[in-house]
Structure 1
Amino acid sequence: MPSEETRRVSDLATLKAFGHPLRMKLYRALYIARSATASQLAEQVDEAVSLVSYHLRKLADHGLIEEAEQQGTDARERWWRPASHGLTFHDEDFRDAPEKAATHSAIGRLSFDQHIELYRRYLDSYRSWSDEWRSASFSSEFLGRLTAEELASLSREMHTLIRRYEDEGRAREESGDTEGRENVALHIYGFPFRT
């Protein structure tokens, strides 16, 4: 059973293991599916099953994913699932050495690039979504004047709210309420800037 807690990645080896573009995509796809085989994930990311299997094992070596209960009839297929409710990466865990800081920054940029690509795909397919989904989707920007403490508090409150919606949606889906349910991405950034 995966942990219901969010895992804080604080070591460089695990950060590097996660920081491969394909591994990040695989983790995201597995997080959404909750459990899947290498062949199912390979279809989603358009890569060879052998390559996907290799990268899944690397994620498992660092405890980011784990084997899941067999769900199909093919005993040769290994099922995988995330080992925790999610992952977090904090600056303070990687600032004590230049290599750590550089790796943390590089993975942050890679993650951001993947978020942009996901949103671009949505914009490119915007008209293919129903009026209901187009009306529900949003993009906004907040430009406020906050202290670091206020920004941290805002982050905690937003994460609590998002987690509540995610947990309620999963519970409803598991009880059979699947009508109209889609994968939803919500990318939130809070950072200081100077003009």
Structure 2
Amino acid sequence: MAERHVRQVTDSRVLAAMSHPLRRRLLDVLTVYGPQPVGALAERTGQAPANISHHMKVMRECDLVEEAPELARDRRERWWRPVSAGLRWSGRDFDDDPGEAAVLRAAESLNLDHQVGLVREWYAAPDEEQAVWGESTFAADRWLHLTPAELLELSRDLVALLDRWSARSAEAAAEPGDETRRPVFVFAHGIPATP
């Protein structure tokens, strides 16, 4: 398979497909754990294999996932992997059609709900689990005075930093022996706002 890239989404059908909560979770599972068969995806998400197969078909039709037949032990087993390393989109690509603009707004809202939901789950985790991570978890925010060009520069700097750590994470995940290593979710938003 060729090197995976971050995909620029310009089709509202793709936004709608990836915004479904279970499909978003399936994409996250495939991103974090690599290619998985339907049975493993069902087990990780607590869903029936038939339900997983349905959602994988929807995502395949939108080119979000692809089959990985070389990993299957037989013709009945279906393995899946994400097509791209990530997704991004711009509101400008959906401005011309009110229906597409509505899908964009819904997708952005659901995406933010998903991100905040992961943080809320951590804050609700048992004290014993939180104690293992101690002060290593973080939340940070700042009020900055920026031009649009400076915000774009900051965005590129943050994405480059996350890309560097993502590559390191993937390499380290392959190393056995560190029981404390687990997936860590990091997200940031930079938006014009009024205090």
Question: 1:12 — aligned with what?
Answer: 12
Question: 1:95 — aligned with what?
Answer: 95
Q: Write the letter of the residue equivalent to 1:107.
A: A
Structure 1 segment 1-195 matched on structure 2, within 5 A: 1=1, 3-71=3-71, 73=73, 75-129=75-129, 131-174=131-174, 176-177=175-176, 179=178, 180-195=180-195
Q: TM-score, normalised by structure 2?
A: 0.91
Rate the CA distance shift 1:178–1:143 in 2: closer, same or farther, 3 A. Answer: farther
The CA deviation string for residues 116-144 of structure 1, in whole angstroms up to 9 with x for no partner, is 22111111115232645232110111111
Shift of 1:47: 1.6
SS of structure 1 residue aligned to 2:173: helix
Q: TM-score, normalised by structure 1?
A: 0.91
Shift of 1:111: 1.1
Structure 1 unaligned regions, length at least 5:
none
C-alpha contact 1:7 1:85 (8 A) present in aligned 2: yes
Structure 2 unaligned regions, length at least 5:
none
Shift of 1:169: 1.6
**CA RMSD, 1 decimal:** 1.8
Rate the CA distance shift 1:188–1:169 in 2: closer, same or farther, 3 A. Answer: same
4+ residue runs over 6 A deviation = none
Distance (Å, rounded) in 1 between the aligned partners of 2:177 and 2:24: 26
Q: Percent of aligned pairs with the same residue?
A: 30
Shift of 1:28: 1.1
C-alpha contact 1:42 1:52 (8 A) present in aligned 2: yes
Rate the CA distance shift 1:72–1:130 in 2: closer, same or farther, 3 A. Answer: farther
Rate the CA distance shift 1:126–1:3 in 2: closer, same or farther, 3 A. Answer: farther
The CA deviation string for residues 162-188 of structure 1, in whole angstroms up to 9 with x for no partner, is 0011012212333x2461321010111
Rate the CA distance shift 1:86–1:178 in 2: closer, same or farther, 3 A. Answer: farther
Shift of 1:72: 5.6
Give aligned pairs, total. Answer: 194
